[in-house]
Amino acid sequence: MPLFITNSLTGEKEEFKSIIPDSVSIYFCGLTVSDLPHLGHARAWVHVDIMRRWLECLGFSVTYVENFTDINEKIVARIGEAEYGESESEVASYFINKALEAMESLGLKPAYVYPKASEHIPEIIDIITSLINSNHAYESNGSVYFDVGSFESYGALSNPDLKDNSAPTDANEANEKKHPYDFALWKAGQVSPESIAKYRNSSLPPILEPSGDIWDSPWGPGRPGWHIECSAMSMKHLSNNIDIHAGGQDLMFPHHENEKAQSEAATGMNFANFWVHIRLLETQGEKMSSSLKNYFSVNNAISEFGSNSIKMFLISTSYHRHQTYSDSALHEAVERWGRLKRTYFRTLNEVKNPSSDSGTVDETLLNSALSAKQKFHDSLNDDFNTREALVALFDITNSLNRHFDSYEEYDYSTLELSLEILHNLAIDILGFSFNSANLDKSSLDLINSLIELREQERSKGNYEKADGIRKELDLLGVIVEDTDNGPTYHRK
RNA sequence: GCACAGGUGGCAGAGUGGCUACGCGUCCGCCUGCAGAGCGGAUAUACGCCGGUUCAAAUCCGGCCCUGUGCUCCA
The answer, yes or no, to whether residue A166 has pLDDT greater than 60, is no
Domain identity same for A352 and A453 = no
Given a cut of 90, whether residue A361 has pLDDT beyond it is yes
Q: What is the mean pLDDT of residues A294-310?
A: 92
What is the pLDDT confidence band of residue A58, given thresholds at 50, 70 and 90? very high
Q: Which bases of chain B are under 7 A from a protein CB atom?
A: 1-6, 11-15, 21-25, 32-40, 67-75
Are residue A409 and residue A462 in the same domain, yes or no?
Answer: no
- pLDDT 10s digits, A77-117: 999 999 999 999 999 999 999 999 999 999 999 999 999 99
- Lowest mean pLDDT of A50-59, A287-296, A461-470, name the range: A287-296
Residue A321 located in a structural domain: no
* Closest nt to residue A43, judged CA to C1': B75
Q: Evaluate whether residue A261 is within a structural domain.
A: yes
Assess whether A210 and A263 both reside in one domain.
yes
Sequence letter at residue A179: H
pLDDT at position A184, please?
93
For residues A407-421, average pLDDT: 94
Both A243 and A105 in a single domain? yes
**Whole-number distance in Å between A264 CA and B63 C1':** 40
Per cent of chain A over pLDDT 70 is 97
Of the residues A403, A429, A455, the one at which a domain ends: A429
pLDDT > 70? residue A146: yes
> In the predicted model, what is the mean pLDDT of residues A241-263?
94
Describe the strand order of the beta sheet including A61-66 as a list of residue ranges. A61-66, A23-28, A242-248, A272-278
Both A147 and A236 in one domain: the answer is yes
* Whether residue A420 is found in the same domain as residue A445: no
Residues A130 and A225 both lie in one domain = yes
Q: Give CA–CA dist A114/A70, Å, rounded.
A: 11
Q: Is the same domain home to A26 and A154?
A: yes
Query: How does the average pLDDT of chain A come out, rounded?
Result: 92
Task: Answer yes or no: is pLDDT of A211 > 60.
Answer: yes
- Which pLDDT value is given to residue A167? 55
| Distance between the alpha carbon (CA) of A272 and the C1' atom of B71, Å | 23
For chain A, the C-alpha Rg in angstroms (whole number) is 27
Please tell me the pTM assigned to this model. Answer: 0.94
Check whether residue A49 and residue A15 sit in a common domain: yes
Of the pLDDT bands very low, low, confident and very high (cuts 50, 70, 90), residue A124 is very high
- Domain range spanning residue A70? 4-287
Rounded (10°) CA dihedral A301, A304, A308, A312: -60
* pLDDT exceeds 80 at position A171: no
pLDDT recorded at residue A436? 61
Question: Per the structure, how many domains does chain A have?
Answer: 3
A295 occurs within a structural domain = no
Within a domain: A187: yes
Position A165 scores a pLDDT of 56
Are A261 and A212 in a shared domain?
yes
Contact status, residue A216 vs residue A198, Cβ threshold 8 Å: no
Q: Which residues lie below 8 Å from residue A352, measured CB to CB, with a gap of 6+?
A: none
- Domain assignment present for residue A76? The answer is yes
CA distances from A150 to A135, A145, A153, A166, A268 (A): 7, 12, 9, 20, 13
**By C-alpha distance, which of A117, A136, A140 is closest to A128?**
A136
Please tell me whether residues A43 and A171 are part of one structural domain.
yes
Of A375, A396, A429, the one marking the end of a domain is: A429
- The whole-number average pLDDT for the span A449-459 is 92
pLDDT of residue A55 exceeding 70, the answer is yes
pLDDT of residue A285: 78
Of A248, A263, A287, the one marking the end of a domain is A287
From the CA of A455, how many Å to the C1' of B75? Answer: 50
Q: Which nucleotide is nearest to A399 (CA to C1')?
A: B39
Through-space separation of residue A173 CA and nucleotide B60 C1' in angstroms? 48
Which pLDDT band holds residue A195 (cuts at 50, 70, 90)?
A: confident
Residue A259, in any domain of the structure: yes
Instruction: Inform me whether the pLDDT recorded for A143 exceeds 80.
Output: yes
Q: Which CATH number is A385's domain given?
A: 1.20.120
Handedness of CA A296, A302, A305, A308 (dihedral sign): positive
Q: Which amino acid is at A259?
A: E
CA nearest neighbour of A230 among A211, A213, A247, A208: A247
Asked if strand B contacts A124 at the CB level, meaning under 7 A, the answer is no
Distances (CA, A) of A453 to A443, A449, A459, A465, A488: 15, 6, 10, 10, 14
Q: Is the CB of A129 under 7 A from strand B?
A: no
- Quote the pLDDT of residue A169: 60
Residues A155 and A132 reside in one and the same domain: yes
Query: Does some domain include residue A338?
Result: no
Residues 160-219, chain A: which have Cβ under 7 A from strand B?
Answer: 160-161, 167-170, 180-184
CATH of residue A44's domain is 3.40.50.620
User: Which of the listed ranges A4-13, A53-62, A325-334, A479-488 does the model predict with the highest average pLDDT?
Assistant: A53-62
Does the pLDDT of residue A168 top 60, yes or no?
A: no
The mean per-residue pLDDT over the stretch A126-143 comes to 95
| Strand B atom within 7 Å of A254 CB | yes
Sign of CA dihedral A450, A451, A452, A453: positive
The distance (Å) linking the CA of A356 with the C1' of B31 is 21
Q: What is the mean pLDDT of the segment spanning A386-393? A: 95
* CB-based contact A70:A33 (threshold 8 Å): yes
Instruction: Determine, yes or no, domain membership for A306.
Output: no
Q: ipTM of the predicted structure?
A: 0.93
Produce one character per residue of A89-120: b if its CB has 16 or more CB atoms within 10 Å, e if not.
bebbbbbbebbeebbebbbbeebeebbbbbeb
A225-237: b (≥16 Cβ within 10 Å) or e: bbbbbbbbbbbbb
In this predicted structure, the answer to whether residue A299 has a pLDDT above a threshold of 80 is yes
